[in-house]
Chains A and B, each alone.
Chain A
Amino acid sequence: MIVESQLQTADARYSQIVEAGDYWLHFVGEGQTLRITDLEGNQAVDTLFYSAVDTAERYSAMDTIREQGNVYLTAGTRLISNLGHSMLRIVADTCGRHDTLGGACSAESNTVRYALEKKCMHSCRDSWLLAVARHEHFALGKRDITHNINFFMNVPVTSDGKLTFEDGLSGPGKYVELEAEMACLAFISNCPQLNNPCNAYNPTPIQVHIWD
């Protein structure tokens, strides 16, 4: 569902460009609004959320899908935690559909999906692992890197049970906006995948804004 935002970027309290292949780990307070903008189009933004109070509570793809009865995320979707709480709500979306089935790329899954020789290519999971190792005070590790959202990715499921990776519905400047219903840590990997035609083999930067 396409819903445009009324917020002006000039009023944002925070703005940051995140380059392709970089991570972004940031606090989003209850009531704050987070916007993620696909600056050049068809970029995958792999995203996890944790409760800022207790990181054992985190975004759950399966609980989110089941509670809304739909596999695609868009405006109106509530992102549900593993404890059944609404963490954030998608309040604006100019792309229309986002994936939460496809997971993140890792060096190891790249060997399976593409070729054994692809193991030394940068991946989302490596970005997240580097982030948790650099920010030890969050006490997060590999087992906390769970099933994520892929903002701007289009992964349709067919009625006979196939999972397909289609060209994205996104384009330059499209965005998704989320209002936090609890204090969260937002944990993005701006995907460095060079093997997937979905991004024309060219990962590109994104921009994040936060409003009070």
Chain B
Amino acid sequence: MSNYLAHSEPLHEGTLPGGHHWSLLMRRGKILRLIDTGGGANVGMLFYNPADKAERYNAPDTLKCQHTFKITRGHCLYSDMGRIFCSVVEDTLGWHDSIGGNLTDAALWERWGKVSYQEKRNDWQISGEHAFLVELAKHGMNRRDMAANMNWFSCVSVDGEGKISLKPGHSKPDSCVALRFEMDTLVLMHSCPHPLNQAASYPKAPVTYQVFSAKPVAEDDLCRNSCPENRRGFVNNVIYHQEAAS
């Protein structure tokens, strides 16, 4: 991780309590580092191009061009326009989910009941659906814009027959993952439970996020060179930024 940082001190640090939501405009050349301080967190995340929000994270394009079902260090997250929003430059877990989707209001209420604002004030229990609808609306978007999201710190694996399962206890305290942004990106995030989490009570795990400046992408950068597809993805970003080919 330190290899990727221009300075070791974060420019900004914040905390998202469990079951809450926020958004950030990440500039190109910055790193967003997420830390699951207490273990057991889930961070739902969506990505948009702030200059054209019709360009957004595309999970199928991301998975198929890297021949992967899981996301870990060395992978890139792609938009539907063949460009790279961010590269995963650090990961202590080895597996993050991008197919489990989002916890709906209906699933939340069925599993854990309704815990309202009137009853608990800001300790109420909300769904990832509620969280994303609010963050989408902040930026002039709605339900139609809710594509498949990332679920950081969660592992959903598949057996020989195609059955999926959420791995219990996957994320230990202080697990972290760091994303280096390769273009300006609007990041929507929430810390609501993974939709496959069947815990007896609504899990509330906080997440710390830090913003750093990144070093320039090196010729031998791991993410850029992890497959020929990513080398071409980086070229698409160079074309987008109208820079000279390196």
A binding-site residues for B, Cβ under 8 Å: 56, 60-63, 65-66, 69-72, 82, 84, 101-104, 106, 108-113, 115-116, 125, 141-144, 146-147, 155, 157-159, 161-165
Q: Which residues of B contact A110 (CB under 8 A)?
A: 82
Residue of A nearest to B146 (CB): A82
Q: In the complex the two chains form, is B80's CB within 8 Å of A108's CB?
A: yes
- The verdict on B16 contacting chain A, using a C-beta distance below 8 Å, is no
Q: Which residues of B contact A106 (CB under 8 A)?
A: 61, 80, 82
> When chains A and B are docked, how far (Å) is the Cα of A144 from the Cα of B141?
12
Known: A84-B104, A143-B56, A157-B69. A103 touches B61 (CB 8 A): yes
- The verdict on B241 contacting chain A, using a C-beta distance below 8 Å, is no
Residue of B nearest to A111 (CB): B82
Known: A70-B162, A84-B104, A141-B54. A162 touches B65 (CB 8 A): no
List 23 A–B pairs whose Cβ atoms lie within 8 Å, in order of A's numbering: A56-B142, A56-B144, A60-B101, A61-B60, A66-B196, A70-B163, A84-B107, A101-B63, A103-B60, A106-B82, A108-B80, A111-B232, A111-B236, A112-B78, A115-B232, A116-B236, A142-B54, A143-B56, A159-B159, A161-B95, A162-B67, A162-B69, A163-B67
Min CB–CB distance B117 → chain A (angstroms): 23
**Quick one: which of B81-102 are within 8 Å of A by CB?**
81-83, 95, 99-102
Q: Which residues of A contact B70 (CB under 8 A)?
A: 161
> When chains A and B are docked, how far (Å) is the Cα of A165 from the Cα of B64?
9
Known: A111-B232, A112-B232. A71 touches B60 (CB 8 A): no
- The verdict on B184 contacting chain A, using a C-beta distance below 8 Å, is no
- The verdict on B148 contacting chain A, using a C-beta distance below 8 Å, is yes
Interface size class of B (residues with CB under 8 A): 35 or more
- The verdict on B14 contacting chain A, using a C-beta distance below 8 Å, is no
> When chains A and B are docked, how far (Å) is the Cα of A108 from the Cα of B229?
12
Residue-wise, chain B 130-143 has the 8 Å CB interface mask toward A (1 for contact) of 00000000000011
| A84-B106, A84-B107, A159-B157 known, 14 other contacts, Cβ within 8 Å | A56-B143, A61-B99, A63-B104, A72-B162, A82-B143, A102-B63, A106-B80, A109-B65, A109-B82, A112-B61, A143-B54, A147-B59, A158-B69, A163-B69
Q: Which residues of B contact A146 (CB under 8 A)?
A: 147
Q: Which residues of A contact B147 (CB under 8 A)?
A: 146-147
Q: In the complex the two chains form, is B82's CB within 8 Å of A112's CB?
A: yes
> 7 closest Cβ contacts across the A-B interface?
A103-B60, A62-B101, A108-B82, A161-B70, A157-B158, A72-B162, A70-B162
Q: Which residues of B contact A63 (CB under 8 A)?
A: 101, 104
Q: In the complex the two chains form, is B164's CB within 8 Å of A70's CB?
A: yes
Q: Which residues of A contact B54 (CB under 8 A)?
A: 141-143
Residue of B nearest to A63 (CB): B101
Residue of A nearest to B101 (CB): A62
Interface centre among B56, B69, B143 (most CB of A within 10 A): B69
> When chains A and B are docked, how far (Å) is the Cα of A18 from the Cα of B167?
43
> When chains A and B are docked, how far (Å) is the Cα of A165 from the Cα of B65?
11
> When chains A and B are docked, how far (Å) is the Cα of A165 from the Cα of B148?
21
Residue of B nearest to A109 (CB): B61
Q: In the complex the two chains form, is A102's CB within 8 Å of B64's CB?
A: yes
Known: A143-B56, A159-B157. A116 touches B162 (CB 8 A): no
